[in-house]
Amino acid sequence: MSALAARQVLSLWLFSHRCSHGQQQQMSDLFNSINDPLFFPHHAGLDRVWALWQEQDPKRIMDAGEATGLSDTSPMTLDSWFWVGFAGKDRQTVEVMDALNRDGRGVVCYKYEGNTFDSYFK
């Protein structure tokens, strides 16, 4: 991803968070966020940006990030676990990231069709 494209994606992400999380005062509330009319379009947009980023390099399809959040020195791996408390079953990183369900372990199982990353940043 070029520096310009990265800045455009970051700007879009910052704009959407600043605009949407304050609306209706529900987006940041775990119990009520689903009632906010912007919740699903907001997260669909995040999923789309993630898919566009992954599509740029097949080797990155399972990249997760550097830190686990538990320690800034502990690298996150595909075997790292996401603890979600009472909100649902704990999941491994590989399950959450595998939206296409390539190995049968994913939980979302969908793929975007149509526009590619390049069409957004030309």
Extents of the domains making up the chain? 1-60, 62-111
Long-range contacts, stretch 37-44, CB < 8 angstroms, 24+ apart: 42/16
Higher pLDDT, residue 67 or 112: 112
Provide the percentage of residues in the chain whose pLDDT is more than 70. 37
pLDDT digits (tens, 9 = 90+) for 19-74: 555 555 566 666 667 677 777 788 788 878 877 777 787 776 666 555 444 555 56
Q: Quick one: 115 exposed, middle or buried, by C-beta within 10 A (0-12, 13-18, 19+)?
A: exposed
Q: Give the pLDDT confidence score for residue 13 in this predicted structure.
A: 61
